Amino acid sequence: MHQSPGLLQPRLLARLRRSFLGNPRNHRNYYSTRAPGAESPLSTPAELTHVDPQSGRLNMVDVSDKPPTRRQALARGQVLLHDRKAFEAVQRQAIRKGDVLTVGQVAGIQGAKLTAQLIPLCHPIALTDIQVQLRLNEADLAVELESSTMCAAEKTGVEMEALTAVAVAGLTVIDMCKSVARGATLTNVRVVYKTGGRSGTYQEASALPEQPL
């Protein structure tokens, strides 16, 4: 029977799985990029909440003992179209797939709701509000992206939901425009504000003068 050269034969695949999974050392080496006994130059093991400091294995953080608090996050990003004709097509709603900004907004909201399914170690949380806004920036031939997420009482933050909303909205803009803006890039996705939880409030200094979209 013809078999694609890119696929491993079942017996070989099974042997590789036994060889890898059967040895606990392999788990440590696979999940950790640090040499045995070496400290990370960026962070101590205790600071990496998703990594077991002893084995280096990944784990989902137990938040059972954390008190629920009101949490909010604001994230921003940008899609650079790099092309004036493409920008003007978006502006005139002349893109063949439809209204780029509206579809991107809906996609961002959906992305925020699906964050725990997309990010492996992210906790599912009950969002009480999701706002996604897109606007055109003619000076940069770009689409500006912004998302705010909120939950009334949760044990973990909503930053990843805000970031995912921005990322999914941006990727949707690129998908909508790829026929006219092949070099479009999603860039500068980051949290600019968060509040709630043990770490308190964070605000990006460069974002202070800027008003929400």
- Model confidence over 147-167: pLDDT tens digits? 999 999 888 889 999 999 999
Give every CB contact of residue 57 below 8 A, 6+ residues apart in sequence: 27, 28, 31, 32, 51
pLDDT at 37 over 90: no
Q: pLDDT digits over 81-129, tens only?
A: 999 999 999 999 999 999 999 999 999 999 999 999 998 888 889 999 9
pLDDT at 198 over 90: no
Active-site positions read: 175
For residue 149, what pLDDT is reported?
A: 96
> How far are the Cα atoms of 7, 16, 30, 51 from residue 20, in angstroms, in the given order?
18, 6, 9, 20
Contact assessment for residue 106 and residue 200, using Cβ atoms and an 8 Å cutoff: no
Question: From CA 88, how far away is CA 83, in angstroms rounded?
Answer: 9
What residue ranges define each of the domains in the chain, with the CATH number in brackets?
10-47 (no CATH), 69-205 (3.30.70.640)
pLDDT at position 5 over 90: no
Asked if pLDDT for residue 34 goes beyond 50, the answer is no
Determine which of 29-33, 156-160, 201-205 has the lowest per-residue pLDDT on average: 29-33
Q: In whole angstroms, what is the distance from residue 211 CA to residue 5 CA? A: 55
53 compared with 79, residue with greater pLDDT? 79
Write the DSSP assignment of 135-166 as a string of letters.
EEETTTTEEEEEEEEEEEEESS-SHHHHHHHH
Give the angle 201-205-211 at the CA atoms, nearest 5°.
90
Interval 62-89: pLDDT, tens: 677 777 889 999 999 999 999 999 999 9
pLDDT value for 197: 82
Assess whether pLDDT exceeds 60 at residue 168: yes
Please choose, from the candidates 128, 140, 141, 145, the residue with its C-alpha nearest in 3D space to the C-alpha of residue 212.
145
Query: pLDDT digits over 174-189, tens only?
Result: 999 999 999 999 999 9
pLDDT on residue 51 = 65
- Tell me the average pLDDT of the chain: 80
SS3 state at 29: helix
In the prediction, which pLDDT does 200 show? 86
| HSE (side-chain half, CA atoms, 13 Å) at 98 | 8
